[in-house]
Amino acid sequence: TQLLEQSPQFLSIQEGENLTVYCNSSSVFSSLQWYRQEPGEGPVLLVTVVTGGEVKKLKRLTFQFGDARKDSSLHITAAQPGDTGLYLCAGAPSGSNDYKLSFGAGTTVTVRA
């Protein structure tokens, strides 16, 4: 059983549309990270959310951390083909002092031109 569940697993949309990816857990996290990974490459950090209820914006990407720090979402506005990739959420459970990350299985996003 994975600590972090991501949905949907796959998402294919047309350029210009919006999309939302969800990351849920029954555990409390001190922070969550979102990464984007392209085939054959390592994950690239997009954002770290730390405070319950926090909203962070990175250009067309909006990240939200749930009030209870158990879930997070990533919303992309007006998606572009360059947003195509595997989106991963990851975190270390609250109280952990080793900070090893548990990852979701990822959401594969395809943006068609």
Partner 1 sequence: DTGVSQNPRHKITKRGQNVTFRCDPISEHNRLYWYRQTLGQGPEFLTYFQNEAQLEKSRLLSDRFSAERPKGSFSTLEIQRTEQGDSAMYLCASSPQTAGDQETQYFGPGTRLLVL
Helix (H, G, I), strand (E, B) or coil at 74: strand
- How many other CB atoms are found less than 10 A from the CB of residue 21? 22
Q: Which residue's entry shows tokens 């949907």?
A: 8
Classified as helix, coil or strand, 92 is: strand
Question: By CB under 8 A, what part of segment 28-67 binds partner 1?
Answer: 30-31, 33, 35, 40-45, 48, 50
Binding flag, residue 22, partner 1 (CB under 8 A): no
In the complex, least distance from residue 101 CB atom to partner 1, rounded to whole angstroms: 6
Binding residues for partner 1 (CB under 8 A) = 2, 4, 30-31, 33, 35, 40-45, 48, 50, 88, 90-92, 98-106
